Amino acid sequence: MVSGTPVEGACDAIASTTRVEAVAATGLLDTEPEEAFDRLTRLASALLDAPMVFVTLVDERRSYWKSTTGFDAGPPEQRQNHVEESFCQFVVSAGAEQVIPDTRADHRTRGMAAVDALDIGAWVGLPIRSADGEVLGTFCAMDTRRRDWSEQDLEVLRTLAQAAGGEIALRVALRQTQLAYAEAARHAANAEHHAAEAERNARRAEQSAAEATELAETLQQSLLPADAPRIPGMEVAARYRPGGRGAEVLGDFYDVFPVTGGWGVVIGDVCGKGAWAARTTALARSTVRAVGHTEDSPEAVLTALNEVLHVWFSERRSFVTATYATITAREGAGLDVVVVTGGHPPSFVLRADGEVVRLQEGGRALGIRPDARVAREETALFPGDSLVFYTDGITESRVVGGEQFGEDGVARALAELPPGPGAETVADAIASAALEHAGGAVLDDTAVIVVRSPAG
């Protein structure tokens, strides 16, 4: 191929030692295509009607095509080109998304061999980042004609680039976890032959196991909000407790984020645990955020999530339950709320005077069928009222052989509170009551979100 001309300053960013080391740490260079990434590029191609979509990893020398949809890239030794011949250099050097509506007119790409070799008329690339923020490569889409990439196109690609980054972060964390456990096992085995070092090796094994758990928890924290946001005119509190151990994390997810005219709140439960659940969690949470920024209709948000999950699951039998709500300031005082549900447990409203109102449940779990079916309910929070969301880890809490905490348990915990409690108090009450009902055992992930309209 004829080499392109690197943009000014690109070499320093591309050859950055910390960035190149982060790329190498993924362990993905020169590896075969994998369904986890191919599923993302197929999804992007379908949603954008884009003929070609790539996931790339870019080191100091080359752009390696980990996944290609719409282009037969061949074996690993052929799935690459020199970095100066690759459009990905522009994303890596800038550290930001790059949009090129016309490759034959844009000064960066006209004359590059790839334009004619791959018949690229338009190109858009989004950075895929490591957990530490280093640009590992790109999630890029191509069209054979000139194309003005829309904001909706970019939101879809941002969502999927985040999902690809989450997949890579998961792999890095799990690899480190496996190494930590292997180290622990090695020291334990040595202890059998070196009695004098048994105590020291036991401490090392314990430390390695603790480090493995910490790595898994770090991954979990990277895919869940760090803290409930501070929102003027609204109190928000959240509680999350993982039910698994080590790398068994992320069956539940939640998020609170700004939308047009107010805020969006989502809570969901992914079928399963571990690596697959973590991937699905990252995709589900980022999809709701991306679509929620552009869609005013809450039903449209869960419908879009259903479509994404249905393609994502493909032949895998899985599903996600979720509740999504939009919350806007009410004229005068209080908050207007629209709640839509896809197979998720019902939400509750705790009125300031202590009345407990159970909202309707319904809809169908997401990702099972191509068509979504969601339930909708509108309500209002007056000053002092709280809206309560939770996952089935709360309702299914129990001691072995005992009765589940259930929705009635949630209602009882709310009814026992004094009038007008704060959001933090409500969230603590539900999480604590469910844990007490289970005798302190945590068998499944549990999540609670409380949104309160402040009194006076």
Of 169, 200, 216, the position where a domain reaches its end is: 169
Record the pTM: 0.65
Q: How large is the average pLDDT for residues 286-297?
A: 85
- Segment 433-438 long-range contacts (CB within 8 Å, at least 24 positions apart): 433/405, 433/409, 434/393, 434/394, 434/395, 434/397, 434/405, 434/409, 434/410, 435/241, 435/397, 437/397, 437/398, 437/399, 437/405, 437/409, 438/397, 438/398, 438/399, 438/405
Which two three-digit tokens encode residue 50?
Answer: 């884009």
pLDDT band for position 444 (50/70/90)?
A: confident
Of 122, 148, 169, the position where a domain reaches its end is: 169
Q: How large is the average pLDDT for residues 429-453?
A: 89
Cite the beta strand spans of 346-408 per DSSP E. 348-350, 356-358, 375-381, 386-390
Provide the pLDDT for residue 30: 92
Q: Point out the least confidently predicted range of 103-117, 210-224, 419-433.
A: 210-224
447, 266 contact by CB (below 8 A):
no
Do residue 160 and residue 239 come from a single domain?
A: no
pLDDT(114) > 80:
yes
Provide the pLDDT for residue 69: 93
DSSP assigned state of 243: -
- Which residues does 107 contact at the CB level (< 8 Å), separation at least 6? none
User: Does residue 321 lie in a domain region?
Assistant: yes
Q: What is the pLDDT of residues 319-347, one digit of tens each?
A: 999 999 999 998 888 999 999 999 999 99
Provide the pLDDT for residue 401: 74
pLDDT(207) > 50:
yes
Q: How large is the average pLDDT for residues 85-97?
A: 95
Domain total for the chain? Answer: 2
pLDDT(213) > 60:
no
Of 125, 140, 169, the position where a domain reaches its end is: 169
Distance CA 440, CA 210 (A): 21
pLDDT band for position 456 (50/70/90)?
A: low
Which amino acid does the sequence have at 58?
Answer: V
Query: Strand, coil or helix: what is 396?
Result: coil
Do residue 234 and residue 371 come from a single domain?
A: yes
Distance CA 242, CA 240 (A): 7
pLDDT(201) > 90:
no
Provide the pLDDT for residue 380: 96
Residue 88 has a CB neighbour count (10 Å cut-off) of 28
User: Does residue 217 lie in a domain region?
Assistant: no
Question: CATH code at 368?
Answer: 3.60.40.10
Do residue 408 and residue 265 come from a single domain?
A: yes
pLDDT(264) > 90:
yes
Do residue 253 and residue 145 come from a single domain?
A: no
Do residue 140 and residue 234 come from a single domain?
A: no
Do residue 348 and residue 448 come from a single domain?
A: yes
pLDDT band for position 4 (50/70/90)?
A: very low
pLDDT(225) > 70:
no
33: containing domain: 10-169
Q: Point out the least confidently predicted range of 160-164, 233-237, 274-278, 399-403.
A: 274-278
Do residue 278 and residue 376 come from a single domain?
A: yes
Alpha helices in 101-257 (DSSP H): 113-117, 151-193, 198-222
Question: CATH code at 121?
Answer: 3.30.450.40
Q: What is the pLDDT of residues 37-75, one digit of tens each?
A: 898 898 889 889 999 999 999 999 999 999 999 998 888
How far is the CA of 166 from the CAs of 26, 90, 184, 282, 434, in angstroms? 12, 22, 27, 6, 31
User: Does residue 204 lie in a domain region?
Assistant: no
Do residue 156 and residue 241 come from a single domain?
A: no
User: Does residue 219 lie in a domain region?
Assistant: no
pLDDT(423) > 90:
yes
User: Does residue 212 lie in a domain region?
Assistant: no
Q: What is the pLDDT of residues 357-395, one digit of tens each?
A: 999 888 999 998 888 899 999 999 999 999 999 999 899
Provide the pLDDT for residue 345: 94
Do residue 147 and residue 240 come from a single domain?
A: no
What average pLDDT does the chain have? Answer: 84
Provide the pLDDT for residue 305: 92
Do residue 442 and residue 377 come from a single domain?
A: yes
Do residue 140 and residue 231 come from a single domain?
A: no
User: Does residue 98 lie in a domain region?
Assistant: yes
User: Does residue 256 lie in a domain region?
Assistant: yes
User: Does residue 208 lie in a domain region?
Assistant: no
pLDDT(8) > 50:
no
pLDDT band for position 218 (50/70/90)?
A: very low
Do residue 139 and residue 252 come from a single domain?
A: no
Provide the pLDDT for residue 9: 46
- Which residues does 176 contact at the CB level (< 8 Å), separation at least 6? 212, 215
Percent with pLDDT over 90 in the chain? 50
